[in-house]
Amino acid sequence: MSLLEKEPVKRVEKFLKEFDDNLNIISLDTSARTAMEAASSLKCEVGAIVKSLLFKTENSFTLFLVAGDKKASVNKIKKSLNIKDASMASADEVKNTTGFTIGGVSPIGHLNKINVYIDNSLKRFDNLYAAAGHPNCVFKINFEKLQKITNGLINDITE
C-alpha cells in the first residue's frame, strides 16, 4: 500500500481537494516527522514547516500552527485564550482527537472539530509545508490559504 492510500492521508487529500483542486499531497522518500527532517527533505527553511501542536486547554483541545523554527509559548496561549491552564496533549489524546499520530498531524482533516490558532510568524514565507496525515506526507500551501482552509485565528503564540 502506498502512503497516499492510507486513511489519514486520504482524509487530508479529500479536505484539500474540496478546498482547492490545485493543492496536492507530496509523498517523501525521507521522513518529515520533525520540522528539521521535513526542511531537510524539502530543501527549505525550517521556519517554512508548519508544526501542528495540539494543546489540552481546560475542557477542550486547541490546535496551534507554529513555524518550525519557533517554540509555542504556553503563557501566550493561555493569554490569547483567556484561560488558566494549557498543556501539550498526550500522544493518545492527539490520536483520539485528530485521528493522526504525532509526526503526521495535519492542520486539516481532523476527526473532531478543533479550534485552530496560527502564529503570525508564518507570514514570513511565500510557501509553507504542513503534515498530511503521515510522517512522510506533506502539502504545500501559502499563509492566506492556510488561514482560510483551517479557519484559523492569527495570533502571536510563540516565544
Q: What fold characterizes domain 3-155? A: YbaK protein (3.90.960)
Query: In this predicted model, what pLDDT tens digit does every residue of 51-97 receive, in sequence order?
Result: 999 999 988 999 999 999 999 999 999 999 999 999 999 999 999 99
Q: Is 79 left (phi over 0), alpha (psi -120 to 50) or beta?
A: alpha
Rounded distance between C-alpha atoms, residue 15 and residue 155, angstroms:
24
Q: At what angle do helices 7-19 and 143-150 cross, to 10 degrees?
A: 110
Q: Residue 3 has what pLDDT?
A: 87
C-beta neighbour count of 150 within 10 angstroms: 25
Domain ranges of the chain: 3-155
In this prediction the pTM is 0.96
Assess contact for 73 and 159: CB atoms under 8 A. Answer: yes
Query: In this predicted model, what pLDDT tens digit does every residue of 103-135 receive, in sequence order?
Result: 999 999 999 999 999 999 999 999 999 999 999
Assess contact for 108 and 145: CB atoms under 8 A. Answer: no
